[in-house]
Structure 1
Amino acid sequence: MTGKVTVIKHPLLKHKLGHLRDKHTNSNDFREITKEISKILAYEAMREWDQMETVSIETPIAKTTTERIKNPPVVVSVLRAGNGMLDAVLSMIPISSAGFIGIYRDKFINNTVEYYFKMPENIKGKEILLCDPLLATADTIIAAVDRLKQYEVGKIKVLCMIASKSGLERLHYFHPDVEVLTLNVEEEMNESGYLVPGLGDAGDRLFQTK
């Protein structure tokens, strides 16, 4: 597999992912667990952040200096399932701005269709944290990355719960520079494009839709 893929392994994450997979997990619990996992993905995505600045502050005891994040990443949600991750990631990086990309795969034209694109001003050179719970065929993520690169953004990191091996290979065929952070790589997809064993349609389970 080409490209950088970071599989975050931790007993708590395995426990939480197991509940996401369970078809009996209700929508409210699914949302809450998605938020919990998203915070950890954001934490890991920022682990090597080196754009920091030193500022002077005063504690209740004495004057000192501290470090703060400079030039924070833009958090981008791939609608609609990415919205289940967005607030949690922003809660970890509250100084970040947010963008939204609405893309779906149209089975009749066998291609992706963009219906919404809204970004903050001046995203040129900005690092992007691209949020989508599932990376299956990778068609949507590839289309989203294509659009972001038209704006000459900086490094792009994809945050997802689970990803397919074939989807990762396809993403990195077109965009080998994109880093993916996930909890697990699934070996299989079924004929409908769902990950196996997967967790079903994340958007439907988040928002109780069909």
Structure 2
Amino acid sequence: MGTTKFDSLEEYGLNVKILPSNDQVKELQTILRDKNTSRSDFKFFADRLIRLVIEESLNQLPFTKCLITTPTNAVYEGLSYQKGNCGVSIIRSGEAMEQGLRDCCRSIRIGKILVESDADTHEARVVYARFPEDISRRKVLLMYPIMSTGNTVIKAVAVLKEHQVLEENIILSNLFCTPFAIRTVGAAFPQMKILTSEIYHIAPNHFGQKYFGTD
């Protein structure tokens, strides 16, 4: 990897980006993987990591230059988000990331997708989806913290595309994923951006249960 803050991981595709590994991020990942972490600590540190991932996901959205006037009547050339962004969480674990997005963009609209696995065939299927009516014209932050196989995300993205969302307008915000999952999702949707904090062969699949206290 190079020296820029975000580097494309060529092994996984040009649109895959990962948070740089520093001591703070590694500590958060360690706490969330530790079986001895209490539920209150788990949620606190999960929210910290979520905030870091959300902040950097927002950096992938387009900005436009703008001129504003300061309180001293000076003119300042700055940046503002282009209009038309929204979030979509994959229920239930993806809902853990909603507050982090609202903390950064308090008026952003958030849709939801529920994907369940068939008890007999284990095939993922979408059972519920609710989006802003104009989602086809929006940039979408798809929120899902844990990817082990990628099957759930593939179903969710397929539904977004059925609603005319352009693949290149989707940014997957993820905390932990396996190499298999990121290869699978990247191959299925090569134009979608994927941002994660870690690629590792074992994902902390207890995340949702621990975060919501249902473990």
Is the pair's TM-score, using the shorter chain for normalization, greater than 0.5? yes
SS at match of 1:124: helix
Q: d(CA) in 2 for partners of 1:53 and 1:116?
A: 38
Q: Deviations over 1:72-126 (max 9, x none)?
A: 4211111001111111122112242111111122241231122221111211131
Match of residue 62, structure 1, among 46, 70, 73: 73
User: Contact conserved, 1:163 with 1:186, CA < 8 A, in 2?
Assistant: yes
The runs of 4+ residues in structure 1 deviating greater than 6 Å are none
User: Contact conserved, 1:137 with 1:164, CA < 8 A, in 2?
Assistant: yes
Q: How many residues align?
A: 200
Q: 1:116 to 1:199 in 2, by over 3 A?
A: same
**Correspondence 1:143-158 to 2 at 5 A:** 143-154=155-166, 155-158=169-172
Aligned to 1:132: 144
Once the two structures are TM-superposed, the CA of residue 56 in structure 1 deviates from its matched residue by 3.5
The answer to whether structure 1 residue 7 and structure 2 residue 21 are counterparts is no
User: Contact conserved, 2:146 with 2:205, CA < 8 A, in 1?
Assistant: no
Aligned to 2:131: 119
Aligned to 2:8: none
Aligned to 1:50: 62
Aligned to 2:181: 167
Q: Structure 2: which amino acid aligns with 1:205?
A: K
Q: 1:179 to 1:51 in 2, by over 3 A?
A: same
Identity %: 20
| TM-score using structure 1 length | 0.86
Q: d(CA) in 1 for partners of 2:122 and 2:145?
A: 22
Q: Structure 2: which amino acid aligns with 1:163?
A: C
Aligned to 1:204: 209
The answer to whether structure 1 residue 109 and structure 2 residue 121 are counterparts is yes
SS at match of 2:28: helix
Q: Deviations over 1:22-66 (max 9, x none)?
A: 11112222222222112211221222433325254442x335344
Q: 1:151 to 1:75 in 2, by over 3 A?
A: same
Once the two structures are TM-superposed, the CA of residue 71 in structure 1 deviates from its matched residue by 1.4
Q: d(CA) in 1 for partners of 2:206 and 2:60?
A: 32
User: Contact conserved, 1:105 with 1:139, CA < 8 A, in 2?
Assistant: no
Aligned to 2:33: 21
Q: Structure 2: which amino acid aligns with 1:108?
A: D
Once the two structures are TM-superposed, the CA of residue 137 in structure 1 deviates from its matched residue by 0.8
